[in-house]
Amino acid sequence: MLKNCPHLSNQDCSMIAFKKFLNKRSLRAVVGEMMATQTFVMFSLASTVNWADMTEPPQDASRLLISVCFGLSVAAMVKCFSDISGAHINPAVTLAMVFTRKLHLVRAFFYLCAQCLGAIAGCGILYVVTPEAVRGNLGVTSLGPNLTVFQGFLVELTITFQMVFTVVATSDPSSTKVEAAAALTVGMSVTIGHLFAVPYTGASMNPARSLGPAVVTRQWDNHWVYWVGPILGSLTAAALHKYFLHPSLKKPAGEQDAAEKYKEEEMETFQAVDLELGEDNDPESFNNIVDMEMDENNALFETEKPEDEFFNGNNNEKRDGELSSV
């Protein structure tokens, strides 16, 4: 890509990519993602504290409490932060949005950092405010008795698949009938996953949610399961929905699809940086680069539907003169 851009060095191209996101709007989105993840982790993990007797495993009532608390926490955060950051609250959701080309890779990087830091901060606050006598392991995700690592991996992959599939289906442009209840729908999918998988793996579905208590309590047994399983489940769900179950979605007349919006935004950024640097580069060269990149991305799968703007932080966001993926 860089060899076809005679006017820009590697450093200039990197600056263009990052400068697009180093602004007040993007900073607000990253901070919002961190706050949403911190709040979700703190309140959700509090439901795992067994004030009665920490030596016994959770009973059915405790499992219901945990499941409902996690689901409602997700629903509340999605409702509050969807217009700010998209309220991914989950690296698996963020990577799904990148995979379906609804979120730029640079913004995704900052989102992942914000989610991990928010999860650690949320669990750290819970550690401080919880009495030591009942603190326990603060909801560290671990494999159930007699469960093999491979079985745990499959469980995490499966429950994350259903959760992320719910996210991408709910945020699909054709799903207008459920848009108003999107937050509750996603929260219900999280609740379902917990009701099923708490005895198996602790029902993570969220690498950041597992990372927080693991860092605070320094318990890392089979921690990789809670990253690899959810990520693979997430990508599988995103691919299945986008490329197989909803093909040939026609975009409304006059509306740009995801590829066209991406190209337009890159061109605007290119020209803005030129003006700031006082250079007179030929925008057509960068236009050709974006064309080549989009052709490569569309070689296997044709972009078929408008870019969704609900879970990538673009929904109804007010901006001055311009339009804007847990």
List the one residue out of 282, 300, 142 whose CA is nearest residue 221.
142
> What's the pLDDT at 3?
43
- Residues 131 and 280 placed together within one structural domain of the fold: no
Tokens, residue 179: 């848009």
- Residues 136 and 285 placed together within one structural domain of the fold: no
- Residues 157 and 279 placed together within one structural domain of the fold: no
Contact 230, 112 (CB under 8 A): no
- Residues 239 and 264 placed together within one structural domain of the fold: no
**H or E segment at 209?**
helix 207-217
The three-point CA angle 141-326-204 to 5° equals: 15
Contact 75, 143 (CB under 8 A): no
Residue 150 has pLDDT above 70, yes or no: yes
**H or E segment at 52?**
none
Residue 228 has pLDDT above 80, yes or no: yes
For tokens 């409902």, what's the residue? Answer: 68
Average pLDDT over residues 152-158: 97
pLDDT-derived band at 224, boundaries 50, 70, 90: very high
pLDDT digits (tens, 9 = 90+) for 81-132: 988 988 999 999 999 999 988 888 889 999 999 999 999 999 999 999 998 8
> What's the pLDDT at 300?
39
In a domain, 1, yes or no: no
Q: Rounded to whole angstroms, what are the CA distances from 4 to 75, 274, 285, 293?
A: 46, 18, 8, 11
- Residues 19 and 126 placed together within one structural domain of the fold: yes
pLDDT digits (tens, 9 = 90+) for 292-303: 544 544 443 443
Residue 286 has pLDDT above 80, yes or no: no
In a domain, 87, yes or no: yes
Q: In angstroms, rounded to a whole number, what is the distance separating the alpha carbons of residues 22 and 2? A: 22
Contact 147, 199 (CB under 8 A): no
Residue 2 has pLDDT above 80, yes or no: no
- Residues 221 and 181 placed together within one structural domain of the fold: yes
**Structural domain range at position 188:** 14-245
- Residues 166 and 108 placed together within one structural domain of the fold: yes
Q: What is the mean pLDDT of the chain?
A: 77
Residue 227 has pLDDT above 60, yes or no: yes
- Residues 171 and 271 placed together within one structural domain of the fold: no
Tokens, residue 326: 């847990």
> What's the pLDDT at 244?
85
User: What's the CATH code of the domain at 219?
Assistant: 1.20.1080.10
> What's the pLDDT at 13?
61
Q: In angstroms, rounded to a whole number, what is the distance separating the alpha carbons of residues 3 and 320? A: 35
> What's the pLDDT at 296?
46
How many folded domains does the chain comprise?
2
pLDDT digits (tens, 9 = 90+) for 156-197: 999 999 999 999 988 876 665 556 688 899 999 999 999 999
Q: Phi/psi of residue 306, each to 5°?
A: -65, 150
- Residues 193 and 76 placed together within one structural domain of the fold: yes
pLDDT-derived band at 21, boundaries 50, 70, 90: low
